[in-house]
Structures are given as structure tokens and as C-alpha cells.
Homo-oligomer: A and B are copies of this chain.
Amino acid sequence: MIEITDTIIDVAAVEAAVGGPGAGAVVTFMGTTRDSNRGRRVISLEYEVYAEMAVEQLTGIADDIRSRWPGSAVAMVHRNGKVEIGEASVVIAVSTPHRAEAFEACRYAIDQLKHVAPIWKKETFEGGEVWIGSLADCDHGDDDHGDDD
């Protein structure tokens, strides 16, 4: 499951997509919209995703993971459009036979997503709004994504 969606992400469906009788460990990452960022009170976020290219990039990341961690399964869903406070902007689930690999692979997936995906974000805060630019452009450890780093 690799998807870009305009609606609330069904986390259970993302997790179910990687489950199976051989999956001993499932690690899920959810990046959610925080109510504050860099000292500003955030009202909402809006993502603009170049969907066709994003799906291609995410598919590449998933292929990479399955090759680096044999026996793994990966599912990734990212929101497009407006995301309210508390909602998940991205959900990634990875299953592997053992837990260490599930943590490593899921961490790798979100790091890679932030590095390569053609996704832009507009933050609406008290007093104004700003386009923050592509996640890839500002991937320096504080890239201001849903999880703000």
C-alpha cells in the first residue's frame, strides 16, 4: 500500500497491509500536526503533493527497504491538502520477522521520505501563513514536517 490521500488516514488499514503470519514485529510511524511550531501557534497545515511523482518515489523507498531487510513488508500513506491539528499527515508501517529490523526499517522509511518526496507544506498560524517549501529542500534535521524535525 503506497498512497496519497485527501482524507484522514486509516492507520489500522496501513498496519493491516503489512501484517501476516510471518510478521513477528510491526513498527508504525505517524507524523501528526502539532499545535505549535517555532514558537508560532499553528491553526492548520496544507500539503501540496505532486502525487504521481510521490507515489513513484515512495514505491522506490519501499522496494529499497524490502531489499535491505529481507522478509519485510512496507506500507506508506501521505496526506494531500489541508490537515487539521492532531491528524496524521503521514503513516508508515513496516513489518519484519524480528523487532530490531522493524524499528530500523521504519526509521529509514520516514527519513528517506523526507529526503526525496516532492511534498510542499503551507503552515497557517495565528497572524499569517507561510509556504515552507519542499520537505526535501529543508531536510536538515529540523525540516518542519508533521513531526517537526
A residues contacting B by CB (< 8 A) are: 11-12, 15, 19-32, 34-36, 85-86, 88, 97-100, 102-103, 106-107, 110, 146-149
Contacts and interface: CB of A to CB of B under 8 A. Distances in A.
Nearest to A114: B99
Instruction: Report which residue of A19, A21, A25, A34 has the largest number of chain B beta carbons within 10 angstroms of its beta carbon.
Output: A25
B106 A146 contact: no
A120 to B, nearest CB: 18
B34 A24 contact: yes
A36 to B, nearest CB: 7
B103 A148 contact: no
A24 B29 CA distance: 11
Contacts of A25: 29-32, 146-147, 149
Nearest to A91: B26
11 contacts: A11-B11, A15-B30, A19-B32, A21-B35, A22-B34, A24-B31, A24-B32, A24-B146, A26-B88, A27-B28, A27-B29
A24 B21 CA distance: 31
Contact of A148 (B12, B97, B149): B97
